[in-house]
């Protein structure tokens, strides 16, 4: 159980404020998600010949420099790397499937958090306030972001089960609620070639969307079919390269508040995460209707 | 001449099953009844105590003290609950039970220094007056819930579910919705009460955390807040209850009783108290919260042995519902004709839902209620609680304990493979716990 | 007038003071979406909250008159017994949940499940209400000047709904009923008491068809 937040800029001039707004929203969701936090930020786009990959090291003292030079040598390309605490964002022209193979063989201690052209995903244990400080989230700039604060059911809190889940390029999902048919759905999706790292229900929702997108559906169509294919209680916020979407299940018991003005769209589990945002006084505030897809940008 | 073939029953289409299908074909609705599971389940009978030996010395009875007191709600409440015995009376509604029965429960509990619990209908004056320590339930239906009673309660118990029907709400049929019951529940008289299975203003532990804050604010953080769960996904539920801010967790195994619900719910949903208890204690230990967030377990607690074993497995206290009613006379071989009118016999009766309880417990009919004067009921229950306490102390002393909460899993062995696996206690005569790596 | 700034001091502190010395008029500033503000009050004190509140504001309210100069989160005035709560903005889901008495006025819109499980309260919404409003509403009155989402009055008992705008798909056992002069008067009184202007002639009445009161096999599909 947890809190989710999302912010999407309609006015690009605000991109420089992404970090401060996201941080303040995340911290407001600490009580309902005290154990770990995660964010997906969309920033620093690479060109279409490259891929940006966020990597996570279990060890805080991981030798990223060595990894960097090994990678550059292996693929004979330039590799950009930006280190942030125990995560690193690598930008490379190496083809993604080969990169994955290379990584699994040479750096088994590293985990891929996200891949795409703009997305970066950071997840870590601990209180949201600490997460924001450690990752210097306040300074990040970008076009849109999703965040999640988690109340873990297992005491050995790991980031394995943390949101945002990303099962496709530049695609991520955060979820507040509890699905009830995810186990069978996971098997069906695995038969379709979607891979999962955890037994988490939210990861199944992310995988489902990826599958539908692979089939050629738009995000809106994928979310619409999710209403009938996913069973349970959920508020989802979804991010794509240029888009942002929100969906609640037909019963809509899990909370969701949205706000929109000329400059931005925001969503959160509790209004207090939105109440502090600059420009909220001019925003229309509403609660998304059940079983209705709300989307912005090229969702 | 050929011998007549002996009658040959089907194990699949047994007499029970045949009768039930005939009934369903006749009535077109699920069977509704009271009481708890009737099927055979692994339970505390499958565990035994080791007692004293050359290497473990017993305590003398009576002279050498064996303490039975327990404190509940030490985590956040300014006024935790101190009980003399680790046996509480579970939540049962006025509506399901008559006023006399509720009063009897309250008197006996007060005399024994323990608590009773309101049920899905609110707090009656009789119960508040007769029960010195009263736990007030906050249920999905919210019938009768009001801040005056919240303020005069000794603890609050947020009911997420009960063992008989984890995921089901309260049920009371029209014949028991008398004028008084209807008025307390804000319902029309004589109708079948439909149940809410979720709380109206929160769903999920993240919102429950805020709901608990609200209740603490209303009570100025004085009294303990319990969360009651029916045994289902116990490990998650206990962890989330701790995180949502509970002082005490009440865990009701599938053997837990009810005054009315669908038979299919009672028999086919939930897990037995034995594994549920072990899972709950594991979850508390993992969070470092064992004995800090107290655990009350219920669901088929019948004897002092059951209680001692539950404590040994890590519970802080137990709660009794069905057993308390049996003490009051449930299924007693008296008023035989009235059992027969219901189509049953003493020993088989589960007809609480009819409101025609032959011994005057689960009824609103004054003529039937008269069979259970509160003073008599109080004496019966007090005697039973005294017996239970003496039994627990006997077993604890035999294991060398000067306090019943010092009982441990290592004091026990299991008789069956299922019980060994479920309780994580070795099979007698072996080191073997199925499923546990050595 | 007592002033209390939630930017300087806690909700706990505010509630403790309101429980201990509940007199006069209070102005609470910087609520900023905090939860459980003014919960459990039991005196006819007047409180103005200058901003937005979170969950369970005015929970279990008795006698107090509370005005929120902003929006409110879920469970506003849940289980209210008496007194009044007025929201200038919108209110989130489960407004007035299980409330027994008092008057809840929403000048904006209410989200889902407005009046869920209500047990005698009066709720007047100048705007619209979301889906499943008046779900299992037992007694009391819900007035909606705007529209209602789907499943209005699902499983309703004896509560009465007055609505002027559009109604989506009706809930199980909820039907339109005749408006009598007595109903119009009751509605007029409520609108007047809540200071919400509306033409009683434009309202329709909804309530229980009472087919679920005692089980009948022919209505099994409604369960």
Sign, Cα dihedral of A133, A134, A139, A145: negative
- Measure CB to CB from residue C213 to each of B29, B191, B217 and give the nearest one: B191
Categorize the per-residue pLDDT at A152 as very low, low, confident or very high, splitting at 50, 70 and 90.
confident
Q: Which of A233, A275, A282, A292 to mutate to test the interface with C (most CBs of C within 10 A)?
A: A275
Contacts of C74 in chain A (CB under 8 A): 255
Distance, in Å, from the CA atom of C164 to the CA atom of C128, rounded to the nearest integer, reads 10
- Measure CB to CB from residue B204 to each of A152, A155, A177 and give the nearest one: A177
- What does the pLDDT average to over C3-26? 96
The confidence score (pLDDT) of residue A199 equals: 86
What residues does each domain of chain A span?
Answer: 2-42+124-297, 46-117
C157 in a domain, yes or no? Answer: yes
B179 in a domain, yes or no? Answer: yes
Residues 102-121 in A contacting B (C-alpha not used; CB under 8 Å):
none
Report whether pLDDT(A132) > 90: yes
Q: Closest-CA residue in chain C for B32?
A: C215
Give catalytic status of residue A107 as yes or no: no
Sort residue B314 into left (φ over 0), alpha (ψ -120 to 50) or beta: left
In the structure encoding, which two tokens stand for residue C67, read together? 């005005």
| B392–A contact, CB cutoff 8 A | no
In the structure encoding, which two tokens stand for residue C24, read together? 């006069």
Most confidently modeled range among A178-182, B122-126, C112-116: C112-116
The confidence score (pLDDT) of residue B172 equals: 81
**CATH code of the domain containing C84:** 2.160.20.60
Judge if A2-42+124-297 and A46-117 fold alike in CATH terms: no
In the structure encoding, which two tokens stand for residue B285, read together? 């230990």
3-state SS, residue C120? strand
The confidence score (pLDDT) of residue B244 equals: 95
Distance, in Å, from the CA atom of B94 to the CA atom of B99, rounded to the nearest integer, reads 6
Distance, in Å, from the CA atom of B239 to the CA atom of B229, rounded to the nearest integer, reads 12
Q: What is A10-61 written as a DSSP string?
A: SSGGGGGGHHHHHHHHHHHTTTT--SEEEEEEE-SPPPTT-EEEEEEESSTT
Categorize the per-residue pLDDT at A156 as very low, low, confident or very high, splitting at 50, 70 and 90.
low
The confidence score (pLDDT) of residue C223 equals: 66
Q: Closest-CA residue in chain A for C130?
A: A289
Cβ neighbours for A274, distance < 8 A, ≥ 6 positions apart: A25, A257, A259, A266, A267, A268, A280, A283, A285, C33
| C221–B contact, CB cutoff 8 A | no
Q: Are C56 and C78 in contact (CB under 8 A)?
A: yes
Q: Which of C78, A270, A176 is nearest to B217 (CA)?
A: C78
The confidence score (pLDDT) of residue C220 equals: 67
Contacts of A2 in chain B (CB under 8 A): 206
Contact between chains at B217 and C15 (C-beta distance less than 8 A): yes
Measured CA to CA in angstroms, residue C128 lies from A40, B154, C12, C133 at distances of 35, 40, 33, 10
Q: Which of A21, A40, A144 is nearest to A87 (CA)?
A: A40
In the structure encoding, which two tokens stand for residue A68, read together? 């960097």
Give the distance from residue B426's alpha carbon to the nearest chain A alpha carbon, in angstroms. 26
Question: With pLDDT > 70 as the criterion, what percentage of chain C qualifies?
Answer: 97
In the structure encoding, which two tokens stand for residue C177, read together? 């009923």
Contact between chains at B213 and C36 (C-beta distance less than 8 A): yes
C9 in a domain, yes or no? Answer: yes
Neighbours of chain C (3+ CB pairs under 8 A): A, B
The confidence score (pLDDT) of residue B260 equals: 87
| A3–B contact, CB cutoff 8 A | yes
Contacts of A155 in chain B (CB under 8 A): 239, 286-287
| B217–C contact, CB cutoff 8 A | yes
The confidence score (pLDDT) of residue C128 equals: 97
Looking at the 3D structure of chain B, how many domains does it have? 1
Return the ∠ at Cα A155 (arms to A154 and A160), rounded to 5°: 60
Categorize the per-residue pLDDT at A78 as very low, low, confident or very high, splitting at 50, 70 and 90.
confident
Give the distance from residue B246's alpha carbon to the nearest chain A alpha carbon, in angstroms. 14
The confidence score (pLDDT) of residue B3 equals: 73
Distance, in Å, from the CA atom of B200 to the CA atom of C136, rounded to the nearest integer, reads 10
Instruction: Considering only CA atoms, give the Rg of chain A.
Output: 18
Categorize the per-residue pLDDT at B59 as very low, low, confident or very high, splitting at 50, 70 and 90.
confident
| A128–B contact, CB cutoff 8 A | no
Report whether pLDDT(C102) > 60: yes
Contact between chains at A270 and C55 (C-beta distance less than 8 A): yes
Distance, in Å, from the CA atom of B295 to the CA atom of A189, rounded to the nearest integer, reads 40
CA dihedral A259, A294, C91, C78 (to 10 degrees): -130
**Mean pLDDT, all residues of chain C:** 95
- Alpha helices (H) in chain A, listed in sequence order: 18-28, 64-75, 96-106, 128-134, 182-191, 201-214, 219-229, 272-275
Cβ neighbours for A66, distance < 8 A, ≥ 6 positions apart: none
Contact between chains at C92 and A287 (C-beta distance less than 8 A): yes
Report whether pLDDT(B325) > 80: yes
Q: Are B192 and C222 in contact (CB under 8 A)?
A: no
Q: Render the burial of C41-70: b for 16+ CB within 10 Å, e for the rest.
A: bbeebbbbbbbbbbbbbbbbbbbbbbebbb
Give the distance from residue A270's alpha carbon to the nearest chain C alpha carbon, in angstroms. 7
B145 in a domain, yes or no? Answer: yes
Contact between chains at C12 and B27 (C-beta distance less than 8 A): no
- Measure CB to CB from residue A276 to each of C32, C109, C112 and give the nearest one: C32
- Measure CB to CB from residue C35 to each of B210, B219, B221 and give the nearest one: B210
The confidence score (pLDDT) of residue C221 equals: 67
The confidence score (pLDDT) of residue A279 equals: 94
Task: Beginning with the edge strand found earlier in the chain, give each strand of the sheet holding A294-297 in spatial order.
Answer: A165-168, A171-179, A232-239, A243-248, A294-297
CATH number of the domain located at residue range(s) A46-117 in this protein: 3.30.70.3400
Q: Closest-CA residue in chain C for B147?
A: C60
Report whether pLDDT(B438) > 60: no
Work out how many CB contacts closer than 8 A connect B with C: 111
Distance, in Å, from the CA atom of B202 to the CA atom of B139, rounded to the nearest integer, reads 11
Contacts of B287 in chain A (CB under 8 A): 155
Contacts of A1 in chain B (CB under 8 A): 204-206, 240
Q: Render the burial of C111-132: b for 16+ CB within 10 Å, e for the rest.
A: bbbbbbbbbbbbbbbbbbbbbb
Question: With pLDDT > 90 as the criterion, what percentage of chain B qualifies?
Answer: 85
Cβ neighbours for B86, distance < 8 A, ≥ 6 positions apart: B68, B69, B70, B307, B311, B315, B316, B317, B318, B392, B404, B405
Looking at the 3D structure of chain C, how many domains does it have? 1
Categorize the per-residue pLDDT at B195 as very low, low, confident or very high, splitting at 50, 70 and 90.
confident
- Measure CB to CB from residue C111 to each of A274, A275, A287 and give the nearest one: A287
**Mean pLDDT, all residues of chain B:** 94
Contact between chains at B174 and C214 (C-beta distance less than 8 A): yes
Contacts of B210 in chain A (CB under 8 A): 31-32
Residues 82-141 in C contacting B (C-alpha not used; CB under 8 Å):
94, 97-98, 100, 113, 116-117, 119-120, 135-136, 138-139
Categorize the per-residue pLDDT at C217 as very low, low, confident or very high, splitting at 50, 70 and 90.
low
pTM, rounded to two decimals: 0.92
- Measure CB to CB from residue B205 to each of A1, A156, A255 and give the nearest one: A1
Report whether pLDDT(A159) > 90: no
- Alpha helices (H) in chain C, listed in sequence order: 11-20, 181-194
| A2–B contact, CB cutoff 8 A | yes
Q: Closest-CA residue in chain B for A35?
A: B243
Give the distance from residue C73's alpha carbon to the nearest chain A alpha carbon, in angstroms. 7
Categorize the per-residue pLDDT at A299 as very low, low, confident or very high, splitting at 50, 70 and 90.
low
**CATH code of the domain containing B308:** 3.20.20.70
- What does the pLDDT average to over B276-293? 96
* Minimum mean pLDDT range among A155-159, B232-236, B261-265, C73-77: A155-159
Q: B390: domain range? A: 31-423
State the ipTM, two decimals.
0.95
Q: List the end-to-end C-alpha distance of chain A, in Å, as a whole number.
A: 26
Report whether pLDDT(C222) > 80: no
Q: Which of B140, B204, B240 to mutate to test the interface with A (most CBs of A within 10 A)?
A: B204
C218 in a domain, yes or no? Answer: no
DSSP C219: G
- What does the pLDDT average to over B302-327? 98
**Residue C135 CB: number of other CB atoms within 10 A?**
26
Q: Closest-CA residue in chain C for A288?
A: C111
Domain A2-42+124-297 top-level CATH class: alpha beta
Containing A166, the helix (H) or strand (E) segment is strand A165-168
The confidence score (pLDDT) of residue A157 equals: 63
Residues 116-155 in C contacting A (C-alpha not used; CB under 8 Å):
130-132, 149
Question: With pLDDT > 70 as the criterion, what percentage of chain B qualifies?
Answer: 99
């Amino acid at each position: 159980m947890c809190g989710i937040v999302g912010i999407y800029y309609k006015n690009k001039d605000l991109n420089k404020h992404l970090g401060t707004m996201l941080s303040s929203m995340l911290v407001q969701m600490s009580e309902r998600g005290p154990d770990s936090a995660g964010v997906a930020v969309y920033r620093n786009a690479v060109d279409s010949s490259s891929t940006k990959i966020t990597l996570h090291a279990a060890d805080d003292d991981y030798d990223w420099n060595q990894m960097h030079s090994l990678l550059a040598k292996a693929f004979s390309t330039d590799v950009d790397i930006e280190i942030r605490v125990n995560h690193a964002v690598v930008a490379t022209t190496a083809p993604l499937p080969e990169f994955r193979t290379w990584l699994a063989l040479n750096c088994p201690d590293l985990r891929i958090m996200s891949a795409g052209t703009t997305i970066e995903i950071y997840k870590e244990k601990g209180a949201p306030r600490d997460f924001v400080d450690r990752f210097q989230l306040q300074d990040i700039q970008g076009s849109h972001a999703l965040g999640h604060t988690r109340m873990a059911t297992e005491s050995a809190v790991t980031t394995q089960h943390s949101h945002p889940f990303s099962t496709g390029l530049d695609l991520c999902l955060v979820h507040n609620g509890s699905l009830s048919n995810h186990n069978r759905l996971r098997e069906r999706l695995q038969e379709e070639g979607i891979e999962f790292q955890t037994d988490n229900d939210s990861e199944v929702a992310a995988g489902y969307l990826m599958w539908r997108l692979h089939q050629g559906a738009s995000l809106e169509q994928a979310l619409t079919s999710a209403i009938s294919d996913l069973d349970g209680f959920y508020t989802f916020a979804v991010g794509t390269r240029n888009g942002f979407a929100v969906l609640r299940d037909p019963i809509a018991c899990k909370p969701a508040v949205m706000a929109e003005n000329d400059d931005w769209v925001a969503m959160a589990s509790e209004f207090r995460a939105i109440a502090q945002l600059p420009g909220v006084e001019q925003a229309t505030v509403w609660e998304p209707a059940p079983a209705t897809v709300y989307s912005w940008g090229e969702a | 001449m050929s011998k007549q073939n002996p009658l040959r029953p089907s194990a699949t289409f047994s007499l029970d099953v045949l009768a039930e299908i005939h009934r369903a074909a006749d009535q077109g609705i699920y069977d509704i009844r009271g009481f708890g599971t009737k099927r055979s389940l692994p339970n505390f009978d499958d565990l035994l105590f080791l007692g004293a030996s050359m290497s473990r010395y017993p305590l003398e009875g009576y002279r050498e003290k064996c303490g039975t007191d327990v404190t509940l709600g030490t985590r956040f409440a300014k006024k935790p609950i101190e009980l003399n015995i680790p046996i509480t009376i579970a939540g049962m509604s006025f509506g399901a039970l008559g006023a006399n029965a509720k009063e009897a429960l309250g008197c006996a509990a007060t005399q024994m220094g323990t608590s009773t619990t309101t049920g899905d209908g609110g707090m009656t004056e009789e119960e508040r007056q007769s029960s010195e320590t009263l736990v007030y339930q906050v249920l999905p239906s919210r019938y009768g819930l009001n801040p005056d009673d919240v303020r005069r309660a000794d603890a609050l118990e947020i009911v997420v579910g009960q063992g008989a029907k984890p995921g089901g709400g309260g049920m009371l049929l029209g014949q028991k919705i008398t004028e008084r019951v209807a008025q307390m529940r804000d319902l029309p008289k004589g109708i079948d009460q439909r149940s809410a299975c979720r709380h109206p203003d929160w769903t999920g532990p993240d919102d429950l955390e805020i709901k608990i804050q609200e209740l603490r604010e209303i009570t100025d953080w004085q009294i303990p807040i319990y969360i009651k769960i029916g045994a289902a996904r116990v490990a998650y539920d206990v962890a989330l209850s701790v995180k949502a801010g509970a002082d005490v967790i009440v865990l009701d195994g599938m053997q837990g009783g009810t005054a009315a619900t669908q038979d299919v719910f009672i028999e086919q949903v939930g897990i037995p108290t034995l594994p549920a208890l072990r899972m709950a204690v594991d979850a508390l230990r993992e969070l470092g919260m064992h004995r800090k967030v107290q655990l009350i377990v219920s669901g088929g607690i019948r004897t002092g042995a059951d209680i001692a074993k539950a404590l040994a497995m890590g519970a802080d206290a137990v709660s009794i519902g069905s057993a308390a009613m049996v003490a009051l006379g449930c299924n007693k071989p008296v008023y035989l004709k009235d059992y027969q009118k219901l189509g049953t016999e003493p020993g088989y009766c589960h007809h609480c839902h009819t409101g025609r309880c032959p011994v005057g417990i689960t009824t609103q009919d004054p003529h039937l209620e008269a069979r259970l004067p509160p003073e008599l009921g109080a004496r019966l229950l007090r005697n039973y609680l005294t017996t239970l306490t003496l039994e627990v102390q006997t077993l604890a002393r035999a294991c060398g304990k000067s306090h019943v909460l010092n009982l441990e899993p290592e004091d026990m062995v299991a008789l069956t493979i299922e019980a060994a696996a479920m309780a994580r206690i070795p099979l007698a005569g072996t080191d073997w716990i199925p499923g546990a790596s050595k | 007038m007592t002033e209390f700034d939630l930017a300087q001091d806690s909700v706990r502190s505010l509630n403790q003071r309101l429980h201990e010395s509940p007199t006069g008029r209070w102005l609470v500033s910087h609520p900023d979406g905090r939860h459980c503000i003014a919960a459990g009050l039991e005196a006819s004190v007047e409180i103005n909250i200058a901003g937005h509140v979170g969950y369970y504001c005015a929970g279990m309210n008795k006698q107090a008159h509370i005005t929120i100069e902003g929006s409110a989160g879920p469970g506003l005035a849940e289980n209210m017994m008496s007194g009044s709560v007025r929201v200038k903005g919108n209110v989130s889901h489960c407004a007035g949940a299980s409330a027994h008495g008092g008057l809840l006025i929403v000048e904006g819109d209410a989200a889902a499940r407005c009046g869920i499980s209500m047990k005698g309260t009066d709720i007047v919404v100048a705007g619209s209400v979301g889906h499943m409003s008046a779900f299992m509403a037992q007694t009391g009155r819900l007035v909606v000047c705007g529209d209602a989402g789907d499943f209005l009055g699902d499983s309703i008992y004896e509560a009465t709904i007055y609505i002027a705008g559009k109604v989506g798909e009706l809930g199980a056992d909820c039907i339109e009923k005749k408006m009598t002069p007595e109903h119009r008067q009751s509605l007029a009184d409520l609108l007047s008491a809540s200071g919400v202007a509306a033409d009683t002639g434009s309202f329709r009445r909804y309530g229980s068809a009472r087919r679920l009161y005692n089980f009948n096999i022919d209505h099994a599909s409604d369960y």
